[in-house]
Structure 1
Amino acid sequence: MNQLAPTPFSPYRIFSANAWAKFRADTPLTLTAEELERIRSMNDPVDLDEVKRIYLSLSRLLSAHVEASQLLFEQRQKFLSGQGSTQKTPFLIGIAGSVAVGKSTTARLLQLLLGRWPSSPKVALITTDGFLYPNAVLEAKGLMRRKGFPESYDVNAILRFLSDVKAGAPRVTAPVYSHFYYDVTPGKRETIDRPDILIFEGLNVLQVQKMPPDGMAVPFVSDFFDYSIYVDAEETDIHRWYIDRFMELRTTAFQQEESFFHRYAKIADAEARQIAEDLWANINAVNLHENILPTRPRADLILKKGPNHLTEQVALRKL
């Protein structure tokens, strides 16, 4: 059964983009066109109209969840007669989806919008890219063509990071990834210091793993999330966006000699396109089908994009 189909058995309520826009209510637009231009990814046409249609309502919904979480914390404190922890834990938002679908733009947009609510929450953003094993390790394990698959990540490091953040630990650090060098940056760390909200974005953040037969506790990355979002689109569209982005990068970042992909800037267009098609068919499409798409029904909210890369439908999990 397709859980996203608008049937009585679906766990989701489905809204068109125009219907979803009405939930904005009186939420003000706190973003400028210049700021949006700085944060959106290559070939992502999101504009202020898209922010008004989709993201202001989403920001309002997430703010309501954050406030409800804080209220629950206060009520639990009263229930425990002050014997519980006095440290509120950050509200964690997980964002998942395929490569080239626009996860990064969504994450950066929400970071800006949520941070500008009247309560001025401190909003941090971390991607899972930094938790990939370094290329040297992937090479040694024969996993370079499995980069982005679950086995290419240091899952234990991710779990330790999220556990420390959720525990309210000060100055938790995460490794930093360079898309220019296509590798984890040695010795470079990003510090998270007790944010009110943490957005954690990556391909496989909603994935589960095989359960042990003896009932031992097995933590999943998604166990730490208070809310989860899946950025979705038809595979034919994601495929096209991926190829278009690869070809455009040949004329921009790949032109620099220090770039990991510089060699692709010096070959003919036809050969470059063939390489991009191979990367899609044998790596990214496989990862999408085996690991990413199966996690979509686990999300609290799904943003479904159309061929023009703009959101056409929002699926909201019923309470």
Structure 2
Amino acid sequence: MDLKLDNAGLSPYRNFTRAEWAGLRADTPQPLTRDEITRLQGLNDRLSLSEIEEIYLPLSRLLSIYVGSTQKLFRAMQKFLGPEQTGKMPYIIGVAGSVAVGKSTTSRVLQALLGRWPNTPKVALVTTDGFLLPNAVLEQEGLMQRKGFPESYDLPALLHFLSDIKAGRRPARAPIYSHFNYDVVPHETVEVDQPDILIVEGLNVLQTSRPPKDGKAIPFVSDYFDFKIYIDADEAILERWYVERFLRLRGTAFRDPAAYFHRYAAFSEAEADATARSIWRSINLVNLRENILPTRQRADLILRKGGDHEIEAVSLRKL
């Protein structure tokens, strides 16, 4: 007899509809004002009060449970290891997903909500854009058309930063990226001084590579994460969002003569639309398919978005 495996039954995730997930909020208070919510949303993202209440408040409640358990374990380890185990070990949350999916908005909302919990008043946010190699290096290496791909990052610097955070060194420093200049800002850093939680947002933060056959240690960025989030949406939706964002920037930031992409400001709408779709399909879609989407199943939580930017379903990895 032919036996067929039920893939759904074998899934490591528990799946929730939006309504089911919203019910997990319990009595978690809503601390954000409408003005705060408006400031948190991205350029082409939409963030409603219902999104906060139905998606992000249950998520902040869940994360507070995870963080509290980790803090309790750390205190037990301090007692076990003795006085040599000192300092504070921050809880690190990784947020991954495609270009234009809304990673920055999600990260800022989580930072705002988690900072309201009594055991995590200090929440820092770092984007891996700052760890991109400078444009001069990318041009020298022929990687400008691969910007955002794994090979375009200064991986040793990123790993060193995360190692400093986990070791409780203070302060740790992360480089700063300018989207206006489309480049890393030379000699400028942001200090991250022993936060309770660090949120790390980036395209490829969940990626691994093929492990060596000799068993030698090769650290991955995600090795330093305590909780991993992937934001998901269909390719066609992502392309539409990317084009919409590009067209909005064409009429705003790109108009500044000092902007890196100023040349696009003079494009007609049809020219800008065609250019945006070309960039999406030749660079961002390739990166999504080759490097980003394959890491989705490594996440502890998957937030599935629909065409209106609202999260329609949630998948939580089973313990």
TM-score, normalised via structure 2 length: 0.96
2:19 is aligned to 18
The superposition leaves residues 5-54 of structure 1 with CA deviations (integer Å, 9 ceiling, x where unpaired) of 98210000000111101111111011111111112101211111100010
1:107 is aligned to 107
Q: 1:268 Cα deviation (Å)?
A: 1.5
Task: Name the CA distance, whole Å, in 1 between partners of 2:190 and 2:40.
Answer: 18
- Where do 4+ consecutive residues of structure 1 move more than 4 Å? none
2:64 is aligned to 63
Matched, 1:29 2:30: yes
Task: Name the CA distance, whole Å, in 2 between partners of 1:116 and 1:298.
Answer: 28
- 3-state SS in 1 of match to 2:309: coil
Q: 1:83 Cα deviation (Å)?
A: 4.9
**2:15–2:315 CA contact under 8 A, matched in 1:** yes
What letter is aligned with 2:300? D
Output aligned runs, 1:29-178, within 5 Å: 29-80=30-81, 82-178=82-178
- 3-state SS in 2 of match to 1:63: helix
**2:93–2:229 CA contact under 8 A, matched in 1:** yes
What letter is aligned with 1:66? V
- 3-state SS in 2 of match to 1:139: helix
Q: 1:274 Cα deviation (Å)?
A: 1.2
1:308 is aligned to 308
What letter is aligned with 2:16? F
2:245 is aligned to 245
Task: Name the CA distance, whole Å, in 1 between partners of 2:318 and 2:249.
Answer: 40
1:6 and 1:53, CA in 2 relative to 1: closer, same or farther beyond 3 A?
Answer: farther
**2:68–2:119 CA contact under 8 A, matched in 1:** no
The superposition leaves residues 111-149 of structure 1 with CA deviations (integer Å, 9 ceiling, x where unpaired) of 000001133521000000000001111011110010000
Task: Name the CA distance, whole Å, in 2 between partners of 1:217 and 1:10.
Answer: 29
What letter is aligned with 1:74? R
What letter is aligned with 1:175? P
- 3-state SS in 1 of match to 2:44: coil
Task: Name the CA distance, whole Å, in 2 between partners of 1:8 and 1:75.
Answer: 36
What letter is aligned with 2:11? S
Task: Name the CA distance, whole Å, in 2 between partners of 1:93 and 1:304.
Answer: 18
What letter is aligned with 1:11? P
**2:138–2:152 CA contact under 8 A, matched in 1:** yes
- 3-state SS in 2 of match to 1:86: coil
**1:6–1:13 CA contact under 8 A, matched in 2:** no
2:273 is aligned to 273
In the alignment, structure 2 segments of 5+ residues that lack a partner are 1-5
Task: Name the CA distance, whole Å, in 2 between partners of 1:269 and 1:294.
Answer: 34
- 3-state SS in 1 of match to 2:68: helix
Task: Name the CA distance, whole Å, in 2 between partners of 1:217 and 1:83.
Answer: 28
1:257 is aligned to 257
Task: Name the CA distance, whole Å, in 2 between partners of 1:61 and 1:283.
Answer: 35
Task: Name the CA distance, whole Å, in 1 between partners of 2:318 and 2:64.
Answer: 17
- 3-state SS in 1 of match to 2:191: strand
Task: Name the CA distance, whole Å, in 1 between partners of 2:24 and 2:256.
Answer: 45
2:282 is aligned to 282
Output aligned runs, 1:197-276, within 5 Å: 197-276=197-276
Task: Name the CA distance, whole Å, in 2 between partners of 1:12 and 1:176.
Answer: 35
**1:6–1:14 CA contact under 8 A, matched in 2:** no
What letter is aligned with 2:134? P
Moved more, 267-276 or 93-102: 267-276
Percent identical residues? 60
Task: Name the CA distance, whole Å, in 2 between partners of 1:269 and 1:149.
Answer: 28
- 3-state SS in 1 of match to 2:283: helix
Q: 1:88 Cα deviation (Å)?
A: 2.5
The superposition leaves residues 87-132 of structure 1 with CA deviations (integer Å, 9 ceiling, x where unpaired) of 2310000000000000000000000000011335210000000000
In the alignment, structure 1 segments of 5+ residues that lack a partner are none
**1:98–1:203 CA contact under 8 A, matched in 2:** yes
**1:94–1:200 CA contact under 8 A, matched in 2:** yes
TM-score, normalised via structure 1 length: 0.96
- 3-state SS in 1 of match to 2:126: strand
**2:88–2:194 CA contact under 8 A, matched in 1:** no
What letter is aligned with 1:68? S
Q: 1:84 Cα deviation (Å)?
A: 4.7
**2:120–2:197 CA contact under 8 A, matched in 1:** no
Number of positions where the alignment pairs a residue of Structure 1 with one of Structure 2: 314
